[in-house]
Amino acid sequence: MNHFEFKDGELHAEDIAVAQIADEIGTPFYCYSTATLNRHYDVFCEAFSDIDAMVCYAMKANSNQAVLKTLADRGAGADVVSGGELLRALRVGIDPKKIMFSGVGKTISEIDMAIASQIFCFNIESENELALISARAVDAGMNAHVSFRINPDVDARTHAKISTGKKSDKFGIAYDRAEAIYRHAAGLPGIRISGIDMHIGSQIIDLEPFDQAFDRLASLVGRLRNAGHEISHVDLGGGLGVPYKNGDATPPEPHAYAEVVKRHVRGLGAKIVFEPGRMLVANAGIMVARVLYVKRAEGKTFVIVDAAMNDLIRPTLYEAWHEIQPVREPVAGGETMVADIVGPICESGDYLGKDRTMARVAEGDLVFVSSAGAYGAVQSSTYNTRPLIAETLVKGGEYAVIRERQTLDELIGLDHMPDWLEG
Ligand SMILES: *Cc1c(COP(=O)(O)O)cnc(C)c1O
């Protein structure tokens, strides 16, 4: 469910006409809905209200500080994967005791920053990382709370680029190595073992892989405890899929996912940590663009819009399907067209949608791309010297620009001439 709906023939984000925002700030831009963010967060939490649960929003999905603060005000912690994300989380006032630090390649300065901030826990992904965190914690005269990301070796049955829980993926510690690494960690200075972690992938639309992975993790918790390790929290990662396309297999509702979770963790007496990203923000955002040209080629129509793959790379990177429609509501029985919706970038991979049957659009019309709140703005680039686009947040009848459109001077001004080319 989301709060982007047609009212009086015009797409609205909550109570604001999207065309009004376009008139005032230009295109393209992202637009997020506060009500949808809140609703998704609440629905997820409600599914776990009867267990000791902590939700650490996986902010790599959308790290804008206004989005982050909206969720944090609702009670969310953060799952961070870089020092930059940690800084954003701290800046918006998220309690360090609700911050989880995940990721395969933490640098020394990132580790130091997290130790100094006294975050809830590091999710450690290798023995070398463990050794480094131990050394840095000792240096700082502190203890680092750690859990290990265990790779349960299950097939998440999702796109290869976002599957992370198989042996062959770069993530986590092999299931068979888990007990040895906990034994080793228990003897290291500066290290406090506090839990266990997994994350098997993203956009998972099938409960079976979760079921298998949770089962393997829960039995490991028993063995680790028997060996004397303290496992006070169990982090089940994120990955719950969202609907992108009407008619596709619908991803499980949070309560169905919760049933599977509870079946495996109820007896553990541990705090259960979740790291949802996409599920909270994907359908809380759209991207709005304007049609530049409608080009009719041999047997094919191209709708060329002012947003491109640098602004939303998901279609070309993951072969992702995003609904694309005109902002003015199509009239029933009106003319339709079959077209590729593409951007201005000099790449054949620059498309937002292919072979789409949609209401006929003309030059100057506004269109919107649905489900663009997750892995959209955060993955944008300035390829073709295209400035980063604006992001807006709506709340009821108000909206705010939460990230300015980058200017060309800001973008080009980052380059520097070496002395030998000067003058
Ligand atoms: C990306 C990621 C998540 C969030 O995944 P979603 O599919 O967006 O829910 C959670 N945990 C870790 C470690 C991740 O890398």
CA end-to-end span of the chain:
59
Q: Does domain 103-274 match CATH 3.40.50.300?
A: no
396 is in an annotated binding site: no
Q: Is the peptide bond before 387 cis (omega within 30 degrees of 0)?
A: no
Look at residue 249 in the predicted model and tell me its pLDDT: 80
**Closest listed residue to residue 376, CA positions, set 84, 80, 30, 78:** 30
Look at residue 162 in the predicted model and tell me its pLDDT: 81
Instruction: Show the low-confidence residues of the chain (pLDDT under 70).
Output: none
pTM (global) more than 0.95 = yes
The 3-state DSSP class for residue 157 equals coil
DSSP string, 235-292: E----B----STTSPPPPPHHHHHHHHHHHHGGG--EEEE---HHHHGGGEEEEEEEE
At residue 16, what is the residue type?
I
Look at residue 250 in the predicted model and tell me its pLDDT: 86
**Are 40 and 284 in contact, with CB atoms under 8 Å apart?**
yes
Return d(Cα 376, Cα 308) in angstroms, integer: 11
Domain coordinates in residue numbering, the chain: 4-31+282-412, 103-274
**Closest listed residue to residue 148, CA positions, set 188, 121, 114:** 121
CATH code for the structural domain at 4-31+282-412:
2.40.37.10
Whether 373 is in the pocket of ligand 1, judged by its Cβ within 6 Å, is: no
Pocket test for ligand 1, best of 41, 106, 199, 257 (most atoms within 8 A of CB): 199
399 is in an annotated binding site: no
DSSP state of 420: G
**Are 75 and 93 in contact, with CB atoms under 8 Å apart?**
no
Pocket test for ligand 1, best of 62, 102, 121, 163 (most atoms within 8 A of CB): 102
Whether 199 is in the pocket of ligand 1, judged by its Cβ within 6 Å, is: yes
Residue 17: CA count within 13 A, CB half-sphere? 13
Annotated catalytic residue: which of 45, 56, 121, 346? 346
318 is in an annotated binding site: yes
Look at residue 283 in the predicted model and tell me its pLDDT: 97
CA of 137 to the centre of ligand 1 (A): 26
Look at residue 169 in the predicted model and tell me its pLDDT: 79
209 is in an annotated binding site: no
Helix crossing, 34-47 with 65-73: angle to 10°? Answer: 40
Is 346 a catalytic site residue? yes
Whether 276 is in the pocket of ligand 1, judged by its Cβ within 6 Å, is: yes
